[in-house]
A and B are shown apart, each in its own frame.
Chain A
Amino acid sequence: EAGVTQFPSHSVIEKGQTVTLRCDPISGHDNLYWYRRVMGKEIKFLLHFVKESKQDESGMPNNRFLAERTGGTYSTLKVQPAELEDSGVYFCASSQEPLPEQFFGPGTRLTVL
């Protein structure tokens, strides 16, 4: 069974540009999470989808970040316009009730110059 996949693995953009990250969860997993690790800091929760609905987006840093999960399958996280402090590794995870374990993707390393 395929694990969580993320695309791209790396992205280097300039400040002010737009970037869209994609996450494909494990097939059948209703729960999809986005996390971010900024260099030297903890991995922090961004938001949680249950199917196509946003369950919790309390971790989204500001309105430059937009996450979608149309159809309840894959999810995208768009950053527009990107700022220097957005650089970091963005992780996606999925899980399926009733199990609380989350399965993480390899992450997308975003560098904003």
Chain B
Amino acid sequence: SQQGEEDPQALSIQEGENATMNCSYKTSINNLQWYRQNSGRGLVHLILIRSNEREKHSGRLRVTLDTSKKSSSLLITASRAADTASYFCATAAFSGGSNYKLTFGKGTLLTVNP
């Protein structure tokens, strides 16, 4: 089954606007993480929200988690051109030992126009 499916696939906004990306998943999770990937670079961890949390903030980022709907959203406020990147949600299901293997969606490509 496909986990961490992001919506929309692409989003284009003007600098200063807010950007909201959504993620849906199918199975039980231990935590959900959001990552950013700038073109040609590696994945950068942005924020993690645990299954018993509903909302988390980090700077201009706000993440929500609704485990009843198996969905999460990432809000970037007051966007900047430097926020242009692909954003991925990744679900982690604790599978014994110390294994937190991540399951990713295809990502949302965010373009912030100056």
Residues 96-110 of B at the A interface (beta carbon under 8 Å): 97-106
Most chain A beta carbons < 10 A, residue from B35, B97, B98, B106: B98
Q: Which residue of A lies closest to B95 (CB)?
A: A56
Count how many chain A residues have C-beta atoms less than 8 Å from C-beta atoms of the other chain: 27
Q: Which residue of B lies closest to A9 (CB)?
A: B40
Q: Which residues of A contact B98 (CB under 8 A)?
A: 30-31, 50, 55, 97
Given contacts A42-B2, A42-B106, A106-B41, contact A101 B97 (CB under 8 A): no
Given contacts A104-B42, A104-B43, A106-B41, contact A45 B105 (CB under 8 A): no
Q: Which residue of A lies closest to B43 (CB)?
A: A104
Q: Are A104 and B99 in contact (CB under 8 A)?
A: no
A7 within 8 A of B: no
State in angstroms the CA–CA spacing of A31 and B97 once bound together.
11
B33 within 8 A of A: yes
Q: Are A33 and B44 in contact (CB under 8 A)?
A: no
Q: Which residue of B lies closest to A30 (CB)?
A: B98
- From B2, B30, B99, B104, give the contact of A43 (CB < 8 A): B104
Residues 27-71 of A at the B interface (beta carbon under 8 Å): 30-31, 33, 35, 41-45, 48, 50, 55-56, 59
Q: Are B48 and A45 in contact (CB under 8 A)?
A: no
A95 within 8 A of B: yes
Q: Which residue of A lies closest to B4 (CB)?
A: A42
Partner-A contacts on B (CB < 8 A): 2, 4, 30-31, 33, 35, 41-45, 48, 88, 90, 92, 95, 97-106
Known: A43-B102, A104-B45; 11 extra A-B contacts, CB below 8 A, are A35-B104, A48-B99, A50-B98, A56-B101, A101-B33, A101-B48, A102-B33, A102-B45, A103-B45, A104-B42, A107-B42
